[in-house]
Amino acid sequence: MLRYTLMRLGIFVGCLVVVWGLVYSGIAPRGLGDSNYMWVVLLALVISAPISFVVLRGARDRASAEVVARVDRARANLESNRSQEDAVLDETAQATPNQTS
């Protein structure tokens, strides 16, 4: 998961450098007024998203499988804890007779 995140961040930083170079060389348009930095970041995000989607497909699938495995382990642990609690409650109910007043 960390590897996928770092690869995605690397693609974004690469796009940011390229967009910054294009904007400051005059090839890509500059933002309005003081919004130039925001323009560069947003343009880099828009460009890096589809690149990440295509290039990192395998890494994303591996990260997804890792997350699914973690969720399944957590569910199994919760179910195990729940069944242990039920067993303790059943034992307690059998040990103490119902007291109705």
For the chain, domain boundaries? 2-92
Longest dimension (CA), the chain: 88
Looking at residue 101, its pLDDT comes to: 53
What is the C-alpha separation between 4 and 39, in angstroms, rounded?
A: 26
Distance of CA 3 to the CA centre of its chain: 12
Looking at residue 97, its pLDDT comes to: 64
Instruction: Give the Å distances, CA to CA, from 7 to 16, 18, 71, 85, 87.
Output: 14, 17, 23, 43, 47
Looking at residue 65, its pLDDT comes to: 92
**Taking the chain (101 residues) in consecutive chunks of 10 residues, what is each chunk's mean pLDDT?**
91 95 85 79 94 93 91 89 73 68 53
Looking at residue 79, its pLDDT comes to: 83
Length of the chain: 101
What is the C-alpha separation between 51 and 11, in angstroms, rounded?
A: 8
Q: What average pLDDT does the structure give for the chain? A: 85
pTM score over 0.85: no
